[in-house]
Structure 1
Amino acid sequence: MGTDMTPVRDMRLLEVYPCLRDVRPEDWAEAKPEVRTFSIKSCLFQREEATFYGMLLLKGSVRISQIGQDGSKQVISKLNPGEICALLVLSGLSGRDYPAVIEAETEVEALFVSKLSFLRWVQEYESIRKTVFGTLLEGIMHMGEQLQARQTKSLDVRLAEKLLSSTSEQQPMLRMTHYELASEIGTAREVVSRTLQRFQRKGWVVTGRGFVRIICRTEFDELFGD
């Protein structure tokens, strides 16, 4: 992880988060903004960071996972540039600990600002508040769609859809462990491993340590695609 302490209230930032145009210069300076970069699969935000910072994603994509009492992770949402983690805002406003962990799906660049400043911005600036609650609404709708899918779609279909949506003809390989795939689709690692073995025996995929490659995309897509 690297850190660039240079203030970043520039056109690039405002293109990603136009709502920040409304922040007064004195409020921006008080927030002590800094940009941090993270490598793929690294942890960039959890309870410790949430004590001091608010975070805005500038580049890349991340997974937000809830940690179970047994230490297991369950992916509950994704975050892309221009979106604001609603869990971060809600936990901050309610005075509760941040209940999740944010991990990089790709190489990531994120803006960190003072937590107190971040929460004050949400309350004082309507444009930022709309962005936050727009993200929250979309997250609730997405979780509803995920729940419905788990109730109506078989595990084979859910896993195949994940593999298809995360790869392409040009990039047929997905670099994820069986455990990570299981947390994405809401099942156990052992179940994912057995299903991938079955897909491999049929000649649809090749699996290895930390990756799955689709080798027969046309037939796979015909069976499991939209």
Structure 2
Amino acid sequence: MLSPSHNSRVLDVFPWLSVVSSEEWVKAQPAVRKYAANSRIFQREEAASYGMFLLSGTARISRIAEDGGESVMSILHAGEVCALFVLSGLSSRDYPGTITAESEVEALFVAKESFLGWLHRYAEIRSAVFGGLLDGLLRISEQVDGHRAEALDTRLTRALLRMPSEQGLLLNLTHHGLAVEIGSSREVVSRALRRYRQQGWIETGRGWIRIIRRDALESRLGD
């Protein structure tokens, strides 16, 4: 059972745990542990018995391949619950990753059965946990969109540069035609071309594009 100071600290970081009754809290066998940076703090074996809440520091969630290689899936921050733990627990599947401290961390451990029971019984805990999972998915989506935007710029630049090399040559191209060619939408292509135009790399008109700074476009590809 946690000391009064630990209870206060836990509720400061995870206020929604305040709905848990004293009896249930004792049954969950809570314990706070500290780990040095680069320490392994949670893996499949622990996930079979415990749930973990990060009270301070940051940790990385990884998958370890059969050849020993590590693939980082996401970063866990203080005040967050590992999405993999929640989803693997609710689906009765083995935890697929490991959690390693990136900095010195402090973590709360509770019995897995207790935590999953809280999810079912308390709307406040469900709202906080699944809201956090949704926020995490949205962050991943934003990161993917960022990578996709970079890929779009690359595809668009290559499409422009495959045209005849004479600087200032008028190209008979429509935004729709370029969008079809590079697998995007007309609106997205139009926004990208607007940025290129504002940089002074191209000029555009109805049904045509003129490359003004071919060297600038080539530099985007690292050629």
TM-score (norm 1): 0.62
Amino acid at match of 1:117: S
Q: How many corresponding residue pairs? A: 150
Q: How far, CA to CA, are the matches of 2:137 and 2:2 in structure 1?
A: 35
Unaligned runs of at least 5 residues, structure 1: 155-226
Q: 1:19: which partner in 2?
A: 16
Q: Kindly indicate whether the alpha-carbon contact (under 8 Å) linking 2:30 and 2:110 is maintained by their aligned counterparts in 1.
A: yes
Q: Kindly indicate whether the alpha-carbon contact (under 8 Å) linking 2:38 and 2:100 is maintained by their aligned counterparts in 1.
A: yes
Q: Kindly indicate whether the alpha-carbon contact (under 8 Å) linking 2:61 and 2:76 is maintained by their aligned counterparts in 1.
A: yes
Correspondence for 2:39 among 38, 42, 46: 42
Q: How far, CA to CA, are the matches of 1:32 and 1:20 in structure 2?
A: 14
Q: Kindly indicate whether the alpha-carbon contact (under 8 Å) linking 1:84 and 1:131 is maintained by their aligned counterparts in 2.
A: no
Unaligned runs of at least 5 residues, structure 2: 152-223
Change (3 A) 1:153 1:42: farther
CA deviation vs aligned residue, 1:104-146 (integer Å, no higher than 9, x gap): 1110000001111011111111111111111211121122223
Equivalent runs, 1:124-163 vs 2, <5 Å:
124-153=121-150
Change (3 A) 1:104 1:22: same
Give the deviation of 1:6 after TM superposition. Answer: 3.9
Correspondence for 2:64 among 62, 67, 87: 67
Correspondence for 2:74 among 56, 74, 77: 77
TM-score (norm 2): 0.63
Amino acid at match of 1:128: I
Amino acid at match of 1:120: G
What secondary structure does 1:57 align onto?
Answer: strand
Identity of aligned residues (%): 51
Does the alignment pair 1:117 with 2:114? yes
Correspondence for 2:54 among 50, 53, 57: 57
Q: How far, CA to CA, are the matches of 1:149 and 1:41 in structure 2?
A: 29
Q: 2:102: which partner in 1?
A: 105
Q: Kindly indicate whether the alpha-carbon contact (under 8 Å) linking 1:14 and 1:21 is maintained by their aligned counterparts in 2.
A: yes
Give the deviation of 1:41 after TM superposition. Answer: 1.0
What secondary structure does 1:63 align onto?
Answer: strand
Give the deviation of 1:32 after TM superposition. Answer: 0.5
58-67 or 103-112, which moves further after superposition? 58-67
Which has the larger Rg?
2
Change (3 A) 1:29 1:39: same
Q: 1:177: which partner in 2?
A: none
Q: Kindly indicate whether the alpha-carbon contact (under 8 Å) linking 2:57 and 2:78 is maintained by their aligned counterparts in 1.
A: yes
